[in-house]
């Protein structure tokens, strides 16, 4: 999707939303569409600072999850047409409403059904919203459940994926049906808009009506004369004059034997550099690296591998004469220190100093 402008993405999102609308219209048939209802939500006072937005009940408290954390729902079916709603005010209201809960752990349920080409916010608004919901809001958010996702959601996710942290991405959970919420939330306590419930029922009905078609499995193709994978060892032996070792394995190992001398050469170069240090510098370095090597041996428990330790200690052991090192110099520094830690016995065993002490 590289090279696409924001306008192109906006058009692509619009196309997918129109597909969703057409599919939902076909799904609902001639049923009368529901008007937005409060569904038991508290009445909003006209004196509310965001009454113009809050009166739509787009954001509402719906209950608790299985761990007793508050669950807040965002219902797209309650979004009025864009010309009736100031989306900047909507963003301010969302932050205002969430401020009541973000000091403690909380969960958000996003009911996607009801988002259409008439009420959807722009991509620039979505980008602003993600940026404005800073660490204060993301830190205690334990899960974001997206109910009834469509291709539109996938496109939006791909567009914003470079902006979304891996940690936040792990909190996003897609659920195709309302019943899937039972595994995570106290479902019977949830206040779900009637429009969403009816849509869920229609999805189940459509799923039941799908014909069961037999999956045709194509017949297996005979292997090619030079095929190395997906065939038995017996086949390879017969095709290679009785050789027990498959050619691809033999050639790969041979190549690695020739080209894998390089790591040993690195270690030897490291040893030469270290052995050129003055006696006290060498003794101090050897003492420290010996300890870090011992730490790295327990990496299965402490997660501190040689490369991880090198990232922590590298810049403290090698100083640039030109001041703060550039990013380009960090990589070779960390590789060098990582080699000292991983190959400590090889690099340091051939030189000792009088009265040296080891951890």
pLDDT of 212-221, one tens digit each? 555 566 677 7
DSSP of 116-138: -TTTPPPHHHHHHHHHHS-HHHH
User: Is 152 in contact with 20 (CB distance < 8 Å)?
Assistant: yes
Contact yes or no for 26/63 (Cβ under 8 A):
no
pLDDT tens for each residue of 82-126? 889 899 999 999 988 888 888 888 899 999 998 888 888 887 888
CATH architecture label of 232-359: Orthogonal Bundle (1.10)
Q: How far apart are CA 121 and CA 109, in angstroms?
A: 18
Q: Domain residue spans in the chain? A: 6-205, 232-359
Report how far residue 237's alpha carbon sits from residue 35's, in angstroms, rounded to the nearest whole number.
Answer: 72
Q: Are 80 and 119 in contact (CB under 8 A)?
A: yes
What digits encode the pLDDT tens for the residues 48-82?
888 999 899 998 888 788 888 888 899 999 999 98
- The CATH fold assigned to 6-205 is Phosphatidylinositol Transfer Protein Sec14p (3.40.525)
Domains 6-205 and 232-359 belong to one CATH topology = no
Encoding tokens for residue 257?
Answer: 């034997």
Write down the pLDDT at residue 35. 38
- Closest of 310, 316, 301, 300 to residue 344, by C-alpha: 310
Provide Rg for the chain, Cα atoms.
Answer: 31
pLDDT in tens, 13-24: 667 667 777 777
Tokens for 128, please give them: 């602003």
Phi/psi-derived region of residue 40, left when phi > 0, alpha when psi is between -120 and 50, beta in every other case: left
Write out the two tokens for 204: 């189940």
pLDDT at 75: 92
């Amino acid at each position: 999707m590289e090279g696409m402008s924001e306008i192109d993405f906006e058009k692509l999102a619009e196309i997918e939303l129109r597909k969703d609308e057409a599919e939902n219209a076909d799904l609902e048939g001639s049923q009368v569409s529901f008007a937005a209802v409060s569904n038991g939500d508290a009445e909003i006072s006209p004196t509310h600072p965001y009454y113009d937005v809050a009166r739509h009940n787009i954001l509402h408290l719906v209950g608790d999850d299985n761990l007793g954390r508050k669950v807040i729902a965002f219902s797209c079916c309650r979004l009025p047409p864009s010309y009736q709603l100031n989306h900047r005010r909507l963003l301010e209201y969302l932050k205002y409403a969430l401020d009541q809960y973000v000091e403690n752990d909380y969960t958000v349920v996003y009911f996607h059904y009801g988002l259409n080409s008439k009420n959807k916010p722009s991509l620039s608004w979505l980008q602003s919203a993600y940026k404005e919901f800073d660490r204060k809001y993301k830190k205690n958010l334990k899960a974001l459940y997206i109910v009834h996702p469509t291709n539109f959601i996938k496109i939006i996710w791909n567009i914003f994926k470079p902006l979304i942290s891996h940690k936040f991405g792990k909190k996003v959970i897609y659920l195709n049906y309302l019943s899937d919420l039972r595994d995570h939330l106290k479902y019977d306590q949830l206040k779900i808009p009637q429009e969403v419930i009816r849509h869920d029922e229609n999805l189940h009905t459509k799923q039941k009506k799908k014909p069961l078609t037999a999956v045709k499995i194509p017949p297996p193709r005979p292997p090619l004369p030079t095929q190395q994978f997906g065939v038995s060892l017996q086949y390879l032996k017969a095709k290679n004059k009785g050789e027990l070792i498959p050619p691809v394995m033999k050639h790969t190992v041979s190549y690695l034997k020739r080209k894998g001398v390089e790591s040993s050469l690195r270690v030897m170069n490291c040893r030469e550099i270290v052995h050129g240090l003055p006696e006290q510098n060498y003794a101090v370095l050897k003492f420290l690296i010996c300890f870090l090597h011992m730490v790295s041996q327990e990496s299965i428990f402490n997660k501190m591998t040689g490369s991880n330790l090198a990232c922590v200690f590298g810049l403290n052991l090698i100083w640039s004469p030109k001041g703060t090192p550039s990013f380009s110099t960090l990589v070779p520094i960390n590789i060098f220190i990582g080699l000292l830690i991983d190959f400590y016995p090889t690099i340091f065993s051939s030189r000792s100093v009088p009265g040296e002490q080891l951890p």
